[in-house]
Every structure is written in structure tokens, then in C-alpha cells.
Amino acid sequence: MVSINFVRVALLAAPLTANAHYIFSQLIVNGEAVGSDYSYIRQNTNTYMPSYTDDVINSENLRCNEGATNAASDTYDVMAGDTVGFKLAYDEFIEHPGPGFVYMSLAPGGDVSSYDGSGDWFKVWESGLSGSASNENNWGTWQDDRIEFTIPTDTPDGEYLVRPEHIAIHEGHVGKAQFYMECAQLRVSGGGNGSPGPMVKIPGLYTADEVNFDMWSPPVPSTYAMPGPAVWSGGGSAGGSANSSSGISMSAPAAPAPSASQPAFSMPAAPSAPAASPPAFSYPAAPSVPPAYSPTTFATVTGSAPAFSIGPVASLAPTAASSYAPVSSGAPPVNPGNPDCEVSYVRL
């Protein structure tokens, strides 16, 4: 009974394992499928099974996959600037976390059909990580049914091997990154005089340490150093040299030119002369003799603050005599409206 249960578990698990594997078989140009499976893509011999790090990292099979280096295929005509895609066979989706790439290699002598990919390669597209590595949705290629890129308009005319690749890294922590790659044969015209680069050889493209990425051990990484050279998107060779451990271009971006719609900034001119100072403040002279009786109470102030006056406070009943006296024997009270102004005396 135990063995029967074991067989049942194995049978249930087998479709899941197979469904997670994939291979690029259909060429797509400007959104339309051209030909059928492997019409313009060299067919490998290991179907949709992956190649593992130790088996392929230093092997010629890393170029176009196992058995595909010299496989026969037709060559399809495209224009520089066209969007080219490589769709998965069996209506599959990329269901492993990991980065995606596209490389190109110009066939020496102009005949790609007999080219084995031993020349120079340059990278034209990549897609990596944008968040926690353990969340599959943060990988740019997750659940896509194809890898797709635009041929740089500066690409020199000629016949090329074009190599889509996806590296699944869910078993990278045990040294078993999975490689899925193929080679299409394309004839590019309408291009320019760009200088693609940096150039690399295959094998020699990656090291085992670069691709055997641990996405599970805490702290879970949220960045991924893209292996291989910098991406060439046109013009001269990609700026800067690729970092030997990460494959990230270390060149700094050029400073943007000022916008035509935004005037250049200039500092305002300094004033030619300082503004006129306000007139000096003076206090009114204190009365030399007590004023005649009035129903209004007065106060005199001292200090450096602006003068102020206290309006009518209250009507007082006449008294037989009036005199002035200090408010208290202590420090003079402070005017609550202006702490710098002291009230010296009040009429009693």
C-alpha cells in the first residue's frame, strides 16, 4: 500500500514539474508569428528540459542549447527597429523566477546558416528583479509567454544569431541554476553604423558564482546583479566596462541638456544701495508738574520699543487732592503687550 501511494504522489507531481519547463520555439516579428515552431529557430535535442550550471557553464551548448549549435534553420529578414519576440512552445509561460536576456552575434562572412556562434556576442536586452527575490511577481519575465526586444536602429546590417535566454534561479542556492536558451537566424537590414559592445564569448559569458543566486536564505535579497556584459542599445559601445562580478555597467549617466522651454537661471542683481532706515524713535517728555485733574488716567513708558498710549480707562469721581506715587516698591511692572516697555507710574 505504501508503494502505491508513492506512485500516486509521483504521478501527481510529474505534470507540475513538466509544466514549469519551457523552450523558445516560435519567432514573433512586430507582434505577428512568422513560420511555425523552429522555422527560424535552431531546434535543440533536449526538448523543454533545462541545462544546469555545472553541465553547461563551460560548454559550447551554452550558445544555442544542447544539440542546436549546427541545427538547420531558415533565416528571416527583419529591419533594424523591428520588435522581435521568441514565444514558448506548448503555450507555456515562464514559471520560474530569474532574469531574461537577449544576445546577438554577427556571422563572419555573412552566412549565418553555417555559423556555430564561436564569434563575439553582445547583449541587447535584459530583465531582472524589482523587489524581494522570493516573490516571483517581482521578476520581470514571470508568467510571460515570450521574451521580446527591439533591434537597435544603429545595428549594422548583416546576418545574426539572436539568442533569447532565461535563467531560472530557484535552485541556485544548491548550485543548480537552470538555463533555457535558443538561437534564431535573422538577416538585419536598414541598420546603421553603430559599434555594438562590450563583446563576450560563449562559453565565458558567466561564472557559476554569478548565476547560482540564493533567493531564499534570510535576509531575502531585493537586488540582483545582472550577469554578463552591459546592454548595448545603439551608438558606440556600451558606456563603461562591465563589472567582472556583477555585469553592471559602471558608467555615469550624462547630464541632461537644458530644456528649450525653460530659461536659464540667473541670480538677481544686488540692490545698489541699502533701503532707507526708518526714522529714529523718540519718547515724549514726561510732564514736569502734575497735570490738572482729569477723569482719565495716564502713564509714561520707558524702554526701546515703539511708543504706545493707553486710552481712557475709566471715569473717576473727583477727589480732594491728587498725587503721584510708585506702583510698588519692587521692579516696575511690565506692559503685557510689549515686554520691553515698563509702566513707571500711574495716576492715583
* 246-260 pLDDT per residue, tens: 333 333 333 344 334
* Residue range of the domain that includes 171: 19-211
Whether residues 203 and 341 fall in one domain: no
What is residue 69's predicted lDDT score, i.e. its pLDDT? 86
Q: Write the burial class of residue 145 (CB in 10 Å: 0-12 exposed, 13-18 middle, 19+ buried).
A: middle
What is residue 293's predicted lDDT score, i.e. its pLDDT? 41
Looking at the structure of the chain, the number of domains it has is 2
Q: Write the burial class of residue 109 (CB in 10 Å: 0-12 exposed, 13-18 middle, 19+ buried).
A: exposed
Whether residues 204 and 342 fall in one domain: no
Residue 334 has pLDDT above 50, yes or no: no
Whether residues 149 and 59 fall in one domain: yes
Element (H, E) at 103: strand 100-106
Tell me, what DSSP letter sits at residue 307?
P
What is residue 338's predicted lDDT score, i.e. its pLDDT? 46
CA 133/CA 224 separation, integer angstroms: 8
> What average pLDDT does the segment 257-279 reach?
43
Examine residue 192 and state whether it is found in any structural domain, yes or no: yes
CA 315/CA 295 separation, integer angstroms: 5
Q: pLDDT band at residue 112, thresholds of 50, 70 and 90?
A: very high
Q: pLDDT band at residue 236, thresholds of 50, 70 and 90?
A: confident
Examine residue 202 and state whether it is found in any structural domain, yes or no: yes
Whether residues 59 and 202 fall in one domain: yes
Examine residue 273 and state whether it is found in any structural domain, yes or no: no
Q: Where a domain ends, among 158, 180, 211? A: 211
What is residue 19's predicted lDDT score, i.e. its pLDDT? 52
What is residue 195's predicted lDDT score, i.e. its pLDDT? 97
Whether residues 108 and 196 fall in one domain: yes
173: left (phi over 0), alpha (psi -120 to 50) or beta: alpha
Examine residue 269 and state whether it is found in any structural domain, yes or no: no
> What average pLDDT does the segment 322-346 reach?
43
> Where is average pLDDT lowest: 8-17, 65-74, 91-100, 276-285?
8-17
Examine residue 64 and state whether it is found in any structural domain, yes or no: yes
> What average pLDDT does the segment 43-72 reach?
94
Whether residues 204 and 105 fall in one domain: yes
- The amino acid at residue 40 is Y
Whether residues 205 and 343 fall in one domain: no
> What average pLDDT does the segment 130-136 reach?
94
What is residue 238's predicted lDDT score, i.e. its pLDDT? 54
In this structure, the strands spanning 342-347 and 76-79 are unpaired
Most confident of 168-182, 236-250, 270-284: 168-182
Residue 266 has pLDDT above 50, yes or no: no
Examine residue 4 and state whether it is found in any structural domain, yes or no: no
Whether residues 55 and 194 fall in one domain: yes
Q: Where a domain ends, among 173, 195, 211? A: 211
Extract the C-alpha cell encoding 243: 563589472
240: left (phi over 0), alpha (psi -120 to 50) or beta: left
Percentage of residues in the chain with pLDDT exceeding 90?
60
Whether residues 203 and 59 fall in one domain: yes
> What average pLDDT does the segment 262-278 reach?
44
What is residue 18's predicted lDDT score, i.e. its pLDDT? 46
Examine residue 24 and state whether it is found in any structural domain, yes or no: yes
What does each C-alpha distance from 256 to 152, 234, 241, 253, 262 come to in angstroms? 22, 18, 22, 9, 13
CATH code of the domain covering residue 42? 2.70.50.70
CA 319/CA 321 separation, integer angstroms: 5
To the question of pTM greater than 0.85 for the whole model, the response is no
Whether residues 205 and 341 fall in one domain: no
Element (H, E) at 124: strand 122-127
Give every CB contact of residue 186 below 8 A, 6+ residues apart in sequence: 40, 75, 76, 77, 78, 84, 112, 159, 160, 162
Examine residue 347 and state whether it is found in any structural domain, yes or no: yes
Query: Average pLDDT of the chain?
Result: 76
- pLDDT tens per residue across span 216-235: 999 999 999 999 999 999 98
Whether residues 181 and 299 fall in one domain: no
Whether residues 30 and 141 fall in one domain: yes
What is residue 259's predicted lDDT score, i.e. its pLDDT? 38
Tell me, what DSSP letter sits at residue 316?
-
- Higher pLDDT among residues 273 and 81, named by residue: 81
Q: Where a domain ends, among 211, 226, 256? A: 211
